[in-house]
Amino acid sequence: MSLSFKYDEHNKYHRFARSAIIAAASLTTFVIVWWFVAIMANMTALPTPIETWDAFISLLNDGDPLTGASLSTYLSKSFGTFLKGLALAVVIAVPLGLFLGFIKPLREFLNPIIEVLRPIAPIAWAPIFILSFGYQIGPSLVVFVGIFFPMLTNTIFGVQKLDPMLLDAARTMGANPLQLFRKVVLPSSVPYIMNGLKVGLGIGWMCIVAAELYATPLGGIGFYLQEQASAGNWPGAYSAIIIIAVLGLLTTSLAEYAHKAIAKRMGIE
């Protein structure tokens, strides 16, 4: 047992080291290609990585050169908007997806509506939501739409993939509908729900940046990107893009960690 545990631990660290090396090599290659293209293009609209890095350090230390706002101010506004949209999407998409996946007549009735709305780009709703609900709520609703549909469709798919024999076995043992949901349907759907969440988080960051381009009084990292590009400060604009990419990576990584932790706790790893 002890040797097996040590072997598993060794494999775990080996996989982690391998993934870290591959990630470092991939990112290094990306930076080198970026640097080469920037030098060959010789365009002010395409700064080098070092110019972008200097702009980020300047923002971090001295704040926005145009407004004086700090990086933490921009991030806190964007995170607040993002989290409100995320919370609303989770609260609505997961229960609705479970019901639609479990109740076929309801799914058949609502599916045409979902299929009509789902292909619409979330950013198309930005001017409508912002003008209708204001700068405080409108951008969060754009994020909500971006996260809602991936979570909804993945949750429905997760319920539909459930083995009917598990439901029959639970009913045979006397489980009522609530127990079926809590003990069978929900645990089996968790991997699909978390996959929808990971996809939705990436789309959510796209939505919040696009929404902040409309809702400029709200501020946020999207506003910073727009003002830097408008002023011709391209290193500052690219530093905003890098910040957004890092935020997306961190949130999706956090979702992946939560997925593994929840799956392990529920015994479905």
Looking at residue 7, its pLDDT comes to 47
Residue pLDDT, tens place only, 249-261: 888 888 888 777 7
| Residue of 173 and 233 predicted with greater confidence | 233
Average pLDDT of the chain, as a whole number: 84
| Residue of 176 and 220 predicted with greater confidence | 220
Looking at residue 267, its pLDDT comes to 61
Mean pLDDT of 43-59: 91
pTM for this prediction: 0.82
CA 65 – CA 228 distance, rounded (Å):
9
C-alpha angle 94-82-231 in degrees, rounded to nearest 5: 150
Please tell me the number of Cα atoms within 13 Å of 189 on its side-chain side.
30
Looking at residue 12, its pLDDT comes to 65
CA 184 to chain centre: 27
Confidence grade of residue 1 (pLDDT, cut at 50, 70, 90): very low
| Residue of 66 and 117 predicted with greater confidence | 117
Mean pLDDT of 214-239: 86
Query: Which residue matches tokens 């990576």?
Result: 249
CA 65 – CA 51 distance, rounded (Å):
15
Burial class (CB in 10 A: 0-12, 13-18, 19+), 5: exposed
Confidence grade of residue 97 (pLDDT, cut at 50, 70, 90): very high
Residue pLDDT, tens place only, 142-192: 999 999 999 999 999 988 887 777 777 777 777 777 777 777 777 788 888
The single-letter DSSP state of residue 220 is S
